A and B are shown apart, each in its own frame.
Chain A
Amino acid sequence: MRELELYFGPQHLGMVGNFSITLQVEGDRILKATANPGYLHRGFEKLMEYRTWIQNFPLVCRINVVEPDHIEMVYAMAVEKLANIEVPERAHYVRSIYLELARVGSHLFGLWAYANMLGFDTVAQWAMYHRDLVMDLFEELTGGRVYHIYIWPGGVRRDFPVGFKDKIVNTLHSIGGCVPDYDNTFFNNRLFYDRAKGVGTVTREQAMAMGGTGQVMRATGMQYDIRKVEPYAAYDKVPWDVPTRKDGDAYSRIWVVRDEMIESVHMIFKLLDAMPEGEVYHRVPNPFKWKIPKGEAYVRCESSRGELGLYLVSNGENKPYRVHFRTPSYPHGLTILEKVLENASIADVGNIMISLYVVAPEIDR
Chain B
Amino acid sequence: MATAVSNQGKTMNASLKKKLDSVFDKIHIAVPEETRMVVTVQKDAALSVLSFLKNQGFTHLGLISCVDWIHQQMFELVYILSAYMQDDEKTIDREKLHIILKAKIPRENPRFHSVIPIFENAEPYEREIHELFGIYFEGHPRLEPLFLERQYKIPPFRKDFDTRKYVRKTFDTIPPVEKKAGKR
**Chain A residues engaging chain B, CB cutoff 8 angstroms:** 37-38, 41, 43, 45-47, 50, 208-211, 217, 221-224, 228-230, 244, 296, 298, 300, 307, 309, 311, 313, 321-322, 324, 326, 330-331, 334-335, 364
Contact = CB atoms under 8 A, between A and B. Distances in A.
Contacts of A210: 120-121
A335 B85 contact: no
A229 B95 contact: yes
Main secondary structure of the interface of A (DSSP, over half): mixed
Interface of B: 35-36, 38, 59-63, 65, 67-68, 78, 80, 84-85, 88-89, 91, 95-96, 98, 100, 119-121, 123-124, 145-149, 156-157, 163-164
A330 B35 CA distance: 24
A335 B120 contact: yes
Given A38-B147, A46-B156, A210-B120, A224 B84 contact: yes
Contact of B88 (A222, A298, A300, A309): A222
Nearest to A311: B65
Contact of B124 (A208, A222, A330): A330
Nearest to B80: A298
Contacts of B119: 209, 211
A321 B71 CA distance: 13
A311 B121 contact: no
A331 B98 CA distance: 18
Contacts of A364: 147
A211 B61 contact: yes
Contacts of A298: 36, 62-63, 80, 98, 100
B88 A221 contact: yes
Contacts of A38: 145-149
Contacts of A324: 63, 65
Nearest to A42: B147
A229 B85 contact: yes
Contact of B156 (A37, A43, A222, A313): A43
Contact of B60 (A50, A208, A296, A334): A208
A208 B100 contact: no
B4 to A, nearest CB: 16
Contacts of A307: 62
15 contacts: A38-B148, A41-B148, A45-B157, A46-B157, A47-B163, A209-B120, A211-B61, A211-B62, A224-B85, A300-B98, A309-B63, A322-B67, A326-B63, A330-B124, A331-B124
Contacts of B88: 221-223, 244
B163 A208 contact: no
Given A221-B88, A223-B89, A309 B62 contact: yes
Contacts of B96: 229-230
Contacts of A217: 84
Contacts of A228: 91
B85 A222 contact: yes
Given A229-B85, A229-B95, A229-B96, A311 B148 contact: no
B121 A335 contact: yes
A229 B35 CA distance: 11
Contacts of B164: 50
Contacts of A223: 85, 88-89
A41 B61 CA distance: 23
